[in-house]
Amino acid sequence: MVFSPDISSTPIVQKYGGSSVATPERIKAVAERIAKRTKKAKLAVVVSAMGKTTDELIALAYRISEEPHPREMDMLLGTGEQISAALLAIALNDLGVRTKSVNAFQLRITTTQDHSNARILDFDLDVLLKTFKNHDVVVITGFQGVTLEGDLTTLGRGGSDTSAVAVAAKLQCRCEIYSDVPGVFTCDPRVYPKARKLDYVTYDEMLELASLGAKVLHSRAVELAKKYGVKLYCASSFTEERGTYVVEKLPEWLEQPVVTGATIDTKQVEATIMNIPNRRLLTDIFEAVARANLNVDMISIVEGDRGFHLSFTVVEDAARHLRLVVESVLKDTEGWEMYLDDSVAKLSVVGVGMRSSAGVASRFFSILAKKGIPFKTVTTSEIKISCLIPREDAQRALQTIAEEFKL
Amino acid sequence: MVFSPDISSTPIVQKYGGSSVATPERIKAVAERIAKRTKKAKLAVVVSAMGKTTDELIALAYRISEEPHPREMDMLLGTGEQISAALLAIALNDLGVRTKSVNAFQLRITTTQDHSNARILDFDLDVLLKTFKNHDVVVITGFQGVTLEGDLTTLGRGGSDTSAVAVAAKLQCRCEIYSDVPGVFTCDPRVYPKARKLDYVTYDEMLELASLGAKVLHSRAVELAKKYGVKLYCASSFTEERGTYVVEKLPEWLEQPVVTGATIDTKQVEATIMNIPNRRLLTDIFEAVARANLNVDMISIVEGDRGFHLSFTVVEDAARHLRLVVESVLKDTEGWEMYLDDSVAKLSVVGVGMRSSAGVASRFFSILAKKGIPFKTVTTSEIKISCLIPREDAQRALQTIAEEFKL
């Protein structure tokens, strides 16, 4: 991407999620918020589809076909953001704010050809800068792009966050992500009501939290923000409450906690494949799974009498697809077996402070042991510890960990 | 427009109206019909938005603004056709028919800048021909276009018909218009159950019928078809029943009826402006009304003691707008008055046979007189006679005329 901002004052990028623009009334409320900000800066506003629109369009497609054509599916889904972008532009113009909406064709948001999971290659900054000359707000359809051949694509669930960060990266400005969640919490307040909202969180922590199922920010958006140093701010579009900044390093004055947050993910299943005869097939499985775009985690490999036993977790929705992928690799192999276990949950703690603090792992495991919560398949990174626990213990485990690390 | 068809066999253009693609089930049924036809020819299929989608989108916009920004309104409304085009392409691909949907950006359908009432300037035939190389069906979003500046536009109500004819004109092929109506009738079968479906109707007759309120075909589409000699065929998408051909001249073997059809339009109001002091202001009113894109009909001008009395009809929906337009012209004039009368209906008979048959007008008026139906403000063309009658007599008048002319 080429950076060439050419605008009198630094603009701001804002992104509003589906629940923030779910109804005409909410769209008008968002327009009021935006209108206030235009006194000080030009705004590029990225929007998601209204409320459940995307789900409804998907349901419509599945009433027609069990396996809707991917290219046409994106053609269909791209309409959701165009509707909300146009409606928000109508609301803003009504308030006297000079506003224009642009879709992926107009902004020339080019992406890879991976329908339903495309990656942004570039967009035409000149279109944006030219539009800013006569407009104070440009409303941009999130989630969508266009291939070099001119086909409409979508960026995958939560892709509007990525759209917003890409725009902010090129404008070299901050990016504010508004949703129905007032910021990033130490852990899920629905499970642990004493959870605190964080004022700051690092990109690395946010990446772990996002991929662990904290729904505030799409992890690809955080990766992109980290890569281009885009300062992120997550807050609620419903209140004026202060949100959370996502930054490279925590401010010096802030006392660094050892553990910043904890998450529990109950949407994972553990797949176990027994008796894989050799390492070659083991590698083949990983390659096939990667080609199928299935993210695996919590990998464990044990060598037994009749070959290797492999287990890992995938999101529940991918389980059926996973089975087909594994079967295609092992179709000429005898004696292998595969199980899917949906009685597990993934418990994790995350914190940049763990880099410099020893003993977090031992505190983590000993408190689980003390409370009688069995754990297995542990994975760790510099700033994260995860383990699988019984799903029935999920809430209690998160509460225990939150108490222990004073989240 | 430049004509350069370059495809092995002549393709066919089909257009499906909103009721034909109103539900997933109907879309699948339409896909089955199309699939059968692909054995013999490639198809360019133009679609309207599903059922009431456009009305729903308009209602959504008006929940946000009393006067939605025209450019953004088109951005909003353009999504309806993209949804139906994508869904139809999904259904066709599911049947194994190689299909791709294209929107106005992709097909480069350029239009004038008149938002909500744009006119097609051109489209990129090469995109269509290139797509036909690897696909048997190209589904095209009707109703929409893009300005040279890249803004989305819409062609006005019924504009999908015009899109279809424009595509057929450049492909130099026939154009089939499918809706929930099985063809063109001598008059409205709901009012006169003995009405007959016509096998053939001329462009000129269809133009009069379309502009008189027969809902089968958009009159701009008929104009375009006449201009480029596109053979039109109107039929139901729900049955296999034979429809109506719209052609330049009726086949020689067909006995030409004197009157082909009759219509009654009860959606018109008569505006009367009294005491316009001079001809200059009279002209100014017509110019202002034309600039405001209001179609007037049934014009009558009478000179009185205090100036001219002008009356004409406009569609009911335009009445409020008309009042503002007239007020702006006459704001410095004294003594003028304006009335709107919504108790009128416009009764018309149409037929190319009238060119060579005398006495149609006298039969028309004497039967009305005989039945005690008062009429006023008569207008005639070579192939049409219209007059205003009391709205309360509308149905009875149509039945009387239908009996008289054996429709």
pLDDT at A8: 57
What residues of chain A lie within 8 A of the CB of B56, using their CB? none
Question: In which element (H, E) is residue A271 found?
Answer: strand A268-276
pLDDT at B357: 72
| Minimum CA–CA partner of A29 in chain B | B64
> According to the model, what pLDDT value does residue B210 have?
74
* B77: closest chain A residue by CA: A83
Which structural domains are found in chain B, ordered by start?
12-180 (3.40.1160.10)
Q: What is the DSSP letter of A230?
A: P
Which residues 6+ apart lie within 8 Å of A60 measured at CB?
A76, B24, B83, B87
Q: Which run of H or of E encompasses A362?
A: helix A360-370
Q: Which residue of B has its CA nearest to A71?
A: B100
Give mean pLDDT, residues B269-290. 91
The shortest C-alpha distance from A113 to chain B (Å) reads 15
CB contact under 8 A, B61 and A90: yes
> Pick from B154, B21, B166: which is nearest to B89 by CA?
B21
pLDDT at B303: 87
pLDDT band at B2 (very low <50, low <70, confident <90, very high): very low
pLDDT tens digits along B255-270: 777 888 999 988 889 9
Q: How far is B258 from chain A (nearest CA, A)?
A: 48
Interface check for B35 against chain A (CB to CB < 8 A): the answer is no
Q: Are B240 and B194 in contact, with CB atoms under 8 Å apart?
A: no
Q: How far apart are CA A63 and CA B87, in angstroms?
A: 10
- What is the distance between the alpha carbons of residues A237 and A26, in angstroms, rounded to a whole number? 9
- Asked if A93 reaches chain B (Cβ–Cβ under 8 Å), the answer is yes
Contacts of A57 in chain B (CB under 8 A): 83
Residue among A24, A60, A89 minimizing CB distance to B24: A60
pLDDT higher than 70, residue A328:
yes
Give yes or no for A94 touching B (CB within 8 A).
yes
Residues from chain B that touch A76, judged by Cβ atoms under 8 A, are: 82-83, 86-87, 90
The helix/strand/coil state of A45 is strand
Note the pLDDT of residue A303: 87
**Chain B residues lying within 8 Å of A67, measured CB to CB:** 94
Instruction: Kindly determine whether residue A100 and residue B71, on different chains, have CB atoms separated by under 8 Å.
Output: yes
* B89 in contact with chain A, both atoms CB, cutoff 8 A: yes
Q: How many CB atoms lie within 10 A of CB A6?
A: 10
Let me know: does A4 contact A172? Beta carbons within 8 Å: no
Task: Pick the range with the lowest mean pLDDT from A14-18, B88-92, B146-150, B291-295.
Answer: B291-295
Per-residue pLDDT at B131 exceeds 90:
yes
Range scoring the smallest mean pLDDT among A89-98, A209-218, B349-358: A209-218
Q: Which of A296-305, A336-345, B254-263, B270-279 has the lowest mean pLDDT?
A: B254-263
Q: Taking the alpha carbons of B21, B26, B32, B33 in that order, is the dihedral positive or negative?
A: negative
- pLDDT at B216 > cutoff 90: no
Indicate the pLDDT class of residue A2, thresholds 50, 70 and 90: very low
What number is the ipTM of this complex?
A: 0.83
Please say whether the beta carbons of B94 and A65 come within 8 A.
Answer: yes
CA distance B71 to chain A (A): 8
Q: Which residue of chain A is at minimal alpha-carbon distance from B31?
A: A64
Please indicate if any CB of chain A lies within 8 Å of the CB of B91: yes
Q: Do A72 and B60 touch (CB under 8 A)?
A: no
What pLDDT shows up at residue B84?
98
- With cut-offs at 50, 70 and 90, classify the pLDDT of residue A5: very low
Q: Which of B28, B69, B152 to mutate to test the interface with A (most CBs of A within 10 A)?
A: B69
B63 to chain A, any CB pair closer than 8 A? The answer is yes
Res. A257: pLDDT tops 80: no
Query: Which residue is associated with the tokens 């279109």?
Result: A127
Inter-chain contact A72–B86, Cβ cutoff 8 Å?
A: yes
* Beta strand extents in A129-231 (DSSP E only): 137-141, 144-146, 152-154, 175-179, 200-202
Q: What is the least distance, in Å, from the CA of A315 to any CA of chain B?
A: 27
Q: Cα distance from A128 to chain B (closest Cα, Å)?
A: 13
Residues of chain A neighbouring B29 (CB-CB closer than 8 A): none
Q: Does any CB of chain A come closer than 8 Å to the CB of residue B321?
A: no
Would an 8 Å CB–CB cutoff place B57 in contact with chain A? yes
Under 8 Å CB-to-CB from B92, ≥6 apart: which residues?
A: B31, B34, B35, B99, B137, B139
Task: Please tell me what DSSP assigns to residue A352.
Answer: G
What average pLDDT does range B315-338 have in this prediction?
Answer: 90
> Does A290 have pLDDT greater than 90?
no
How far, in Å, CA of B193 to CA of A89, rounded? Answer: 48
Q: What is the pLDDT of residue B4?
A: 42
Instruction: State how far residue B98 is from chain A, nearest Cα, in angstroms.
Output: 11
The residues, any chain, with a CB within 8 Å of residue A320's CB and separated by 6 or more, are: none
- Determine the pLDDT at residue A1: 42
Rounded to the nearest angstrom, the gap between the alpha carbon of residue B207 and the centroid of all alpha carbons in its chain is: 9
Residue B63: which of A24, A61, A69 has the nearest Cβ?
A24
Structure tokens at A42: 């030009």
Percent of chain B with pLDDT over 90: 66
CB contact under 8 A, B85 and A75: yes
DSSP state of A104: T
Q: Is B58 on the interface with A (CB under 8 A)?
A: no
Given a cut of 80, is residue A356 above it in pLDDT?
no
Compare all CA atoms of chain B with the CA of A95 and give the residue at the minimum distance.
Answer: B65
The stretch A202-211 carries a mean pLDDT of 85
Q: How many Cβ atoms sit within 10 Å of the Cβ of residue A75?
A: 30
Minimum mean pLDDT range among A99-113, A195-209, B73-87, B158-172? A195-209
Pairs of residues, one from chain A and one from chain B, whose beta carbons lie less than 8 Å apart = 122
Provide the mean pLDDT of chain B. Answer: 91
List the structure tokens of B154. 């819409």
Closest CA to A83 of A130, A166, A22, A150: A22
Q: How far apart are CA B137 and CA B114, in angstroms?
A: 30
Summarize the confidence of residues A131-152 as an average pLDDT.
97
Q: Are A324 and A367 in contact (CB under 8 A)?
A: no
Mutation target among A69, A110, A140, A153 for the B interface, most CBs of B within 10 A: A69
Coil vs helix vs strand at A127: helix
Which residue in chain B is spatially nearest to A151 when comparing CA positions?
Answer: B106
Is A381 part of the contact surface with chain B (CB cutoff 8 Å)?
A: no
Closest by Cα among B389, B37, B23, B7 to B235: B37
Residues B301, B308: Cα–Cα separation, whole Å: 7
Using the predicted structure, report yes or no on whether residue A336 has a pLDDT greater than 50: yes
Contact A90/B at CB under 8 A? yes
- The answer to whether the CB atoms of A28 and B101 lie below 8 A apart is no
Interface membership of B103 toward A (CB under 8 Å): yes
Q: B54 touching A, CB under 8 A? A: no
What's A292-348 look like in SS3? CCCCCEEEEEEEECCEEEEEEEEEHHHHHHHHHHHHHHHCCCCCCEEEEECCEEEEE
Q: In this complex, is the C-beta atom of A108 within 8 Å of any C-beta atom belonging to chain B?
A: no
Which of B26, B45, B75 to mutate to test binding with chain A, by most A CBs within 10 Å of its CB?
B75
State mean pLDDT over A40-64.
Answer: 95
| Most confident by average pLDDT, A103-112, A199-208, A270-279, B219-228 | A103-112
Q: How far is the alpha carbon of A151 from chain B, nearest alpha carbon, in Å? A: 8
3-state secondary structure chain B: CCCCCCCCCCCEEEEECHHHHCCHHHHHHHHHHHHHHCCCCCEEEEECCCCCHHHHHHHHHHHHCCCCCHHHHHHHHHHHHHHHHHHHHHHHHHCCCCEEEECHHHHCCEECCCCCCCCEEECCHHHHHHHHHHCCEEEEECCEEECCCCCEEECCCCHHHHHHHHHHHHHCCCEEEEECCCCCECCCCCCCCCCCECCEEEHHHHHHHHHCCCCCCCHHHHHHHHHHCCCEEEEECCCCCCCEEEECCCCCCCCCCCCCEEEEECCEEEEEEEEECCHHHHHHHHHHHHHCCCCCEEEEEEEECCEEEEEEEEEHHHHHHHHHHHHHHHCCCCCCEEEEECCEEEEEEECHHHHCCCCHHHHHHHHHHHCCCCCEEEEEECCEEEEEEEHHHHHHHHHHHHHHCCC
Chain B residue with CA closest to A26: the answer is B64
Query: Does B214 have pLDDT greater than 80?
Result: no
Q: Please give the pLDDT value at position B7.
A: 53
Q: Are A378 and A347 in contact (CB under 8 A)?
A: no
pLDDT of the residue at A233: 96
pLDDT mean over A298-322: 89
Q: What is the per-residue pLDDT across B78-119, written as a single tens digit (0 to 9) for each?
A: 999 999 999 999 999 999 999 999 999 999 999 999 999 999
The 10s digit of each residue's pLDDT in A7-33 is 557 899 999 999 999 999 999 999 999
In which order are the strands placed within the sheet that holds A344-350? A261-265, A344-350, A384-390, A376-381
pLDDT for the residue B26: 97
Q: What is the dihedral of CA A80, A85, A90, A96, to 10 degrees?
A: 170
Q: Which of A60, A67, A90 to mutate to test the interface with B (most CBs of B within 10 A)?
A: A90
Please report which residue ranges of A102-202 form alpha helices under DSSP H: 125-134, 159-171
